[in-house]
């Protein structure tokens, strides 16, 4: 985890601060980060037709030549205000939607027309875990779904693997037979993370995955995601409107505003993240973050991960 403090700058103010940053080259990255690219978006454009019976028909340009790279085992943050096109970007990266123009490459292959056999290697965790699962399925079946789709494990082996995955996200395998409504929001988000990890993907898209969680649970889930990245080598595309989380979690970051992305140097003077750092000059960032967590964690009963 990056040694940075928690910022208090709103997404809107950050977006306007970033809008003057010059355009992004296709392999923008942290200097020194030379891991090969895993996901590359080059000049991606996307527009939607709006209007209809009572409003004039027009074309709304949502993405205007987006360049973005996620490296093997890396974590790239995309921060932008609501409506900036973040979810559109995710759908295109997942191959659920075609771009109008530009190039999308995953594991070196052009995937504009679908991921094919590489589908298992890119998984997603959404913001709203309640809507992301079938309420009638037990935890075992929720986590077992990708195992059924992407592996040759039989039912008994899938149950055993689902139990292991629960342990990996620090939940008890005794939850395997529970239905989603009998889990807390944080537990259900961990189940969604376990489901995403199930087919051993190379990349997980985190589409506002922490946004519906309170600050305490966010801190715990951020720690968990960092630990899983170290243990499995999985890369993340971390999409959020919350600029505070980006320097805590990402190696490199870009801001998406008005359909364009611009790289962000999280440690450059004048950047919102760096201004926050200045505000915490008395203590290094990690210490500030640890202090914050130390203040709030004791409020949580031991043995109940959020």
Q: Which is nearer to ligand ADP, 176 or 255 (CB)?
A: 255
Position 255 contacts ligand ADP (CB under 6 A): no
Size of the site for ligand ADP (CB under 6 A): 11
Position 87 contacts ligand ADP (CB under 6 A): yes
Q: Which is nearer to ligand ADP, 140 or 207 (CB)?
A: 207
Q: Which is nearer to ligand ADP, 46 or 190 (CB)?
A: 46
Asked whether 125 and 192 are in contact (CB, 8 A), the reply is yes
Rounded CA gap, 175 and 168, in Å? 13
Q: Which is nearer to ligand ADP, 33 or 47 (CB)?
A: 47
Helix (H) or strand (E) holding 42: strand 37-50
69: CB partners within 8 A, 6+ apart: 26, 27, 28, 29, 37, 39, 40, 41, 76
CB of 8 to ligand ADP, least distance (A): 21
Of 84-92, 105-113, 163-171, 289-297: span binding ligand ADP (CB under 6 A): 84-92
Rounded CA gap, 36 and 65, in Å? 22
Secondary-structure breakdown of the chain: helix, strand, coil percentages, each rounded to the nearest 5 = 40, 20, 40
The burial class, CB within 10 Å (0-12 / 13-18 / 19+), for 82 is: exposed
Instruction: Copy the structure tokens of residue 247.
Output: 């320097």
Of 82-90, 103-111, 132-140, 148-156: span binding ligand ADP (CB under 6 A): 82-90
Rounded CA gap, 50 and 58, in Å? 5
What's the sign of the alpha-carbon dihedral 206, 209, 215, 219?
Answer: negative
Residues 144-163 within binding reach of ligand ADP (CB under 6 A) = none
Buried/exposed 160-170: b ≥16 CB within 10 Å, e otherwise: ebbbebbebbe
Options 24, 41, 86, 171; binder of ligand ADP; rule CB under 6 A: 86
Of 75-83, 139-147, 187-195, 218-226: span binding ligand ADP (CB under 6 A): 75-83
Q: Which is nearer to ligand ADP, 86 or 159 (CB)?
A: 86
Options 80, 163, 263, 306; binder of ligand ADP; rule CB under 6 A: 80
Asked whether 63 and 89 are in contact (CB, 8 A), the reply is yes
Position 85 contacts ligand ADP (CB under 6 A): yes
Residues 15-54 within binding reach of ligand ADP (CB under 6 A) = 48, 50
Of 65-73, 76-84, 105-113, 219-227: span binding ligand ADP (CB under 6 A): 76-84
Rounded CA gap, 214 and 220, in Å? 10
Largest CA distance in the chain: 59
Of 34-42, 51-59, 77-85, 116-124: span binding ligand ADP (CB under 6 A): 77-85
Options 21, 39, 84, 171; binder of ligand ADP; rule CB under 6 A: 84
Position 93 contacts ligand ADP (CB under 6 A): no
> Facing residues of 43 across strands?
none
What are the residues binding ligand ADP (CB under 6 A)? 48, 50, 62, 80, 82-88
């Amino acid at each position: 985890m990056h040694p940075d403090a928690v910022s208090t700058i709103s997404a809107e103010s950050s977006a306007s601060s970033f809008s003057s940053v010059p355009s992004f080259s296709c392999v923008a990255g942290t200097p020194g980060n030379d891991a090969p690219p895993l996901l590359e978006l080059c000049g991606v454009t996307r527009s939607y037709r709006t209007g209809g019976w009572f409003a004039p028909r027009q074309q709304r340009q949502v993405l205007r030549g987006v360049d973005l790279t996620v490296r093997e085992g890396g974590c790239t943050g995309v921060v932008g205000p609501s409506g900036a096109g973040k979810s559109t970007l995710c759908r295109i990266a997942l191959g659920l939607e075609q771009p109008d123009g530009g190039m999308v490459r995953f594991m070196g292959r052009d995937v504009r027309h679908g991921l094919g056999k590489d589908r298992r290697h890119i998984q997603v965790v959404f913001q709203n875990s309640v809507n992301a699962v079938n309420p009638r399925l037990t935890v075992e079946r929720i986590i077992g779904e990708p195992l059924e789709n992407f592996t040759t494990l039989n039912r008994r082996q899938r149950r055993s693997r689902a139990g292991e995955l629960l342990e990996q996200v620090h939940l008890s395998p005794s939850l395997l037979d529970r239905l989603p409504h009998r889990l807390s929001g944080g537990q259900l988000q961990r189940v969604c993370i376990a489901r995403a990890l199930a087919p051993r993907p190379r990349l997980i898209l985190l589409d506002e995955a922490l946004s519906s969680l309170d600050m305490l649970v966010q801190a715990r889930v951020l720690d968990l995601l960092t630990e899983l990245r170290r243990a499995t080598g999985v890369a993340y595309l971390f999409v959020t409107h919350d600029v505070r989380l980006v320097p805590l979690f990402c190696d490199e970051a870009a801001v998406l505003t008005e359909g364009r992305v611009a790289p962000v140097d999280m440690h450059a003077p004048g950047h919102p993240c760096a201004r926050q750092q200045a505000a915490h000059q008395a203590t290094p960032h990690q210490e500030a973050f640890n202090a914050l967590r130390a203040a709030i964690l004791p409020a949580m009963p031991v043995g109940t991960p959020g």
